[in-house]
Amino acid sequence: MVEPKKRVLMVVFEFTPSNGASVQRILSVYRGYLEAGYIVDVLTAMPMAYENTQPVTEGLLPENPKGKIIRALALDALTHLAYRGKYISWMAYPDRWGRTWIPAATMLGKRHVEKYPPDIIWSSSPTPSPHVIARSLQEKTGAKWIADYRDPMTHLQRKLPDTMGKMLQKIDAATVTYADILTFATEEVAQMYRERAPLRSEHYFKTMQNGYDAHLLEKVKLSLEHNVSNVMKKETYNIYYAGVLYSEGRDPCPLFEAIAEMKKTHPSCPIKLIFQGTKNADDYTDIIHELDIETSVEFLPGVPFEEAIVNMLHADALLLIQDARFNKQIPGKVYEYLATEKTMLLKSPKESATSKVACEFDGVYQINEKASIYGTLCDIVEPFFEQNAHMTWPRTESEWSRDTDKHSRQHHVKGLLAWSNQLPPRRNQLF
Q: Where in the chain is the domain with CATH 3.40.50.2000?
A: 7-211+409-422, 215-402
Integer Cα distance of 28 and 30 in angstroms: 5
pLDDT value of residue 418: 95
What are residue 374's DSSP bridge partners? none
Q: What is the per-residue pLDDT for 159?
A: 66
Q: How far apart are CA 118 and CA 39, in angstroms?
A: 9
CATH topology of domain 7-211+409-422: Rossmann fold (3.40.50)
- Looking at domain 215-402, its CATH class is alpha beta
For strands 39-45 and 120-124, give the pairing.
unpaired
pLDDT of residue 356: 94
Residue 273 vs residues 66, 270, 324, 348, 431: alpha-carbon distances, Å: 47, 10, 22, 18, 58
Q: What is the pLDDT of residue 45?
A: 97
Distance (Å, whole) CA 395 – CA 324: 33
* Phi, psi values for residue 178, rounded to 5°: -100, -20
- Fill in the amino acid letter for 65: P
In eight-state DSSP terms, residue 289 is H
Please tell me whether residue 262 adopts helix, strand or coil conformation: helix
- Successive 10-residue mean pLDDT values, the chain, 431 residues: 74 93 91 95 96 78 90 92 79 88 98 96 93 96 94 67 83 94 93 89 92 91 80 92 85 96 95 92 94 96 91 95 90 94 96 94 94 96 81 79 93 95 76 49
